[in-house]
Chain A
Amino acid sequence: MTEEIIIAGFGGQGVLSMGKILAYSGIMQDQEVSWMPSYGPEMRGGTANVTVILSDERISSPILHFYDTAIILNQQSMDKFEPSVKPGGVLIYDGNGITRHPSRKDIHIYRVDAADEATRLGLSKIFNMIVLGGYMKVKPVVRLENVILGLKKSLPHRYHDLIPDNEKAILRGMEIIEEVKV
């Protein structure tokens, strides 16, 4: 099993940390992992993205141009990465701020309105965990208990009291994600 993922959005949306939690979750289930961020000027106030690979085998290239799953959180990233989803692959996006919705017919498209939901819950900081929950529903590659272990590993100790909120957000994401037919 190899799962090749791109997560892309604005800096500050928790794109890189969502990738890190996924990578840690992979380690918790004895997988090989790689996490390759964009580290350019775009990260400093613009778009940010990270490529995460989870695999049962040794990972060759950490840099990819086609993905099994694209998690897209802004319009710029939609323009850039919708064409990069492998045929038959998965595109997950948050509709907030999206003006041109995805239109490919050869991939599976899902929408998770995590930004709205996070605001409703009064938990804007765990927006990315709602998205992650949506991903986990669609692609059960990482198990919830391993994600919680991953969170414990990647969060500094002083934030460990926030883990229950994160778990709640993941479960909510699993509930609200919906398939979009184009």
Chain B
Amino acid sequence: MGELRLMKGNEAIGEAAIRAGVDAYFGYPITPQSEVIEYLMAEKPHERTGMVVLQAESEVASINMVYGAAATGKKVMTSSSSPGVSLMMEGVSYIAGAELPCVLVNVVRGGPGLGTIQPSQADYFQATKGGGHGDYRMIVLAPASVQEMSDFIKLAFELAFRYRNPAMILSDGVIGQMMEKVVLFDPIPRWTEEEIIKMSPWATTGKPLNRERNIITSLDLQPHVQEQRNIRLQNKYATIQEKEVRCEKIACDDAEYLIVAYGSSARIAQKALDIARAQGIRLGLLRAITLWPFPTKQIRELLGHVKGILTVELSSGQMVEDVRLAVEGRVNVEFYGRMGGMIYTPEEILGVLKAKIIGE
């Protein structure tokens, strides 16, 4: 077993980055995720592993540093919170277009605009449907605990490199700021130059005599070439959708009613589930772990016995659209959310379930 610590979610992100053998972190502070860069700076990872930690002049600079460093086949990442992530979206589109692996962390706060520093889940659309321009997708992981903040850093890099695609950890102010027990994974050494050349033959590692130049770009002005690039991307996305869906099903086997939630909302919903079960209500919880690819099939599979679904999110209703697409009108799908940094109680969720789904 790895090392046990009591950590904030944001600190776990920082420690996991060092242990995952990350080569560079570029970021800019913003509440509620500033502890990521604070932790990294205090830990002096250049002394532990040689990892570079740099406070850039802005989020725009951070993401373009990530773009440049990722082109060399290095493990690179950034983190921010909602307004900062909006600033990064142009860069993310370029990175997706150029098919580079990297990891972004969004510790979501309430919006729109500068909004509030309190927790929110209103960046689901931005993370899973675009945000930047063009037909691209990010792999999106939604941690629901400090443990997963750590574990998903490792997983996000594995997926990012397997598919040469940006991966995002979509967290929020609750998971970022809370402290829980975390078992840290054993450190993975940073890749050597030789390992990078072998594993990532596409990377700009310096042209030897025996191969053509590697060019990293998202630009192809000839439509037929750009279409081929898009088709290649879409084929890759189809493979990810087929192979990389992750979700957790809690008490779903005999569930008559279902809550679908992710991240901190799934934690609150689980408490609602405990209360409901104690009252004899057969309620299940499907927690989406990958938000893209979305667990469409996993929700569909439950429709044999589930009579109604409540989706809860700290937003005006974003993921609920994907739930409705999965269900295709076969059962009633209702939504309940809070906005602007307000958080529902388990009792509140259960009340809505009874009123809208069970019909009491």
Contacts and interface: CB of A to CB of B under 8 A. Distances in A.
A40 B179 contact: no
Contacts of B181: 27, 32-33
Which of A27, A60, A153: most chain B Cβ within 10 A? A60
B218 interface: no
Contact of B174 (A20, A36, A60, A154): A36
A65 B346 CA distance: 9
A64 B273 CA distance: 15
Interface string B244-281: 00000000000000000000100110110110000000
Question: For the complex, would chain A's binding face be called helix, strand, loop or mixed by DSSP majority?
Answer: mixed
Nearest to A39: B177
B352 interface: no
Interface string A92-107: 0000000000000000
Contacts of B174: 36, 62-63
A45 B271 CA distance: 33
B273 to A, nearest CB: 8
B143 interface: no
A34 interface: yes
Which of B31, B181, B274: most chain A Cβ within 10 A? B181
B180 A33 contact: yes
Nearest to B273: A60
Interface residues on chain B, size class: 20 to 34
A153 B347 contact: no
B331 interface: no
Contacts of A63: 174, 264, 267-268, 343, 345
A40 B180 CA distance: 20
Interface string B160-189: 000000000000011001111100000000
A7 to B, nearest CB: 14
A114 interface: no
B271 A36 contact: no
Interface string A36-63: 1101110000000000000000011111
Contacts of B180: 33-35, 59, 62
Contacts of B343: 63
Contacts of B31: 39
A65 B4 contact: no
Given A39-B173, A40-B118, A61 B268 contact: yes
B347 A65 contact: yes
Interface residues of A, number: 22
B179 A34 contact: yes
A135 B197 CA distance: 60
Given A39-B32, A40-B118, A60 B271 contact: yes
B6 A33 contact: yes
Nearest to B267: A61
Given A60-B268, A61-B268, A61-B346, A35 B274 contact: no
B127 to A, nearest CB: 22
A60 B270 contact: yes
B117 A61 contact: no
Interface string A147-176: 000000110000000000000000000000
B4 A27 contact: yes
A33 B178 CA distance: 10
B251 to A, nearest CB: 12
Contacts of A67: none
Interface string A1-45: 000000000000000000010011001000011111101110000
Contacts of B178: 34-37, 62
A24 B7 CA distance: 10
Given A32-B181, A34-B179, A63-B268, A23 B6 contact: yes
B345 A65 contact: yes
A8 to B, nearest CB: 16
B267 A27 contact: no
Interface of A: 20, 23-24, 27, 32-37, 39-41, 59-65, 153-154
16 contacts: A23-B179, A24-B6, A27-B181, A33-B179, A35-B6, A35-B178, A36-B177, A36-B178, A39-B173, A40-B117, A40-B118, A61-B268, A61-B270, A61-B346, A63-B268, A63-B343
Which 7 A-B residue pairs are closest in the complex by CB-CB distance? A60-B270, A35-B179, A61-B271, A60-B271, A61-B268, A36-B178, A65-B345
Given A61-B270, A63-B267, A153-B6, 9 more contacts: A20-B6, A23-B179, A39-B173, A39-B177, A60-B273, A60-B346, A61-B268, A61-B271, A61-B346
